[in-house]
Amino acid sequence: MGFNIAVAGKGGTGKTTVAGLILRHLVERQAGRVLAIDADANMNLNEVLGLEVHQTIGQIREGLSNVPAGMTKDAYINYKTQECLIEADGFDLIVMGRPEGPGCYCYANTLCKKYMDEIADNYAFVVLDNEAGMEHLSRRTTHNMDLMFAVTDSSVRGVQAAGRIRDLVDELKLNIGKIAVIVNRVDGGLPEATARELDRLGLELAGVVPNDPNVYEYDLEGKPTFQLPADSAAVRAVGEIVEKYLPKGAG
């Protein structure tokens, strides 16, 4: 079985950037192929990775009225889902996206979860980048994970949001092995108020990612942060965090 990592958090914390750097570290370890899943209807992991998306799982629904003769609906869905897979150097990416036109994201979410359950064991690692907030937990997209990183800024409110994510995981009895908090975009050391709130809520601190000017520059210019210089502070910090949680003997 592979090792599955989910990334969650409230909006504006740099969650997807962190997910991309987690993916980068796993690819660079050369410990087996990695599957990246963008489970956010407002897809942008591909932009962090520098990849172009031509088809998403959310678009499959529109073609169900034109299933070829002799092919079952399930076979057609499996075929179209495979077409959504983007093969890159050391990893694959699949994007949930959203349906065209009106309607909720339930169908796309269901297909994304089904696909993940079916092929996850073909990869050494899976990195699941969720939508901001907690809806993905209620939909059980984030399920059967070895590890979840809850990404927050250094504010007390941000830490409290991470606590609510942990509490909902417990309430829904989701199969997630461990939850740990990454505090992102920190200037200087971790503020005392942040550390106290983490302790008060009983949250495990995975680590701190410093406010990296390279990340700001790449975001400003629309450059993929997946391609940050190896000596960038954010790249080093995320790599050190990931290494602490990987199973022994991985790579």
Structural domains of the chain ordered from first start = 3-245 (3.40.50.300)
User: What pLDDT score was predicted for residue 42?
Assistant: 78
Q: State pTM to two decimals.
A: 0.90
Buried b (16+ CB within 10 A) or exposed e, 142-158: bbbbbbbbbbbbbeeeb
Tell me which of 111 and 48 has the higher pLDDT.
48
Query: pLDDT band at 35, cuts 50/70/90?
Result: very high
Nearest C-alpha neighbor of 242 from the set 173, 178, 159:
178
Q: What average pLDDT does the segment 195-219 reach?
A: 97
Distance CA 150, CA 152 (A): 7
4: β partners: 126
* Whether residue 136 has pLDDT greater than 80: no
* Whether residue 102 has pLDDT greater than 60: no
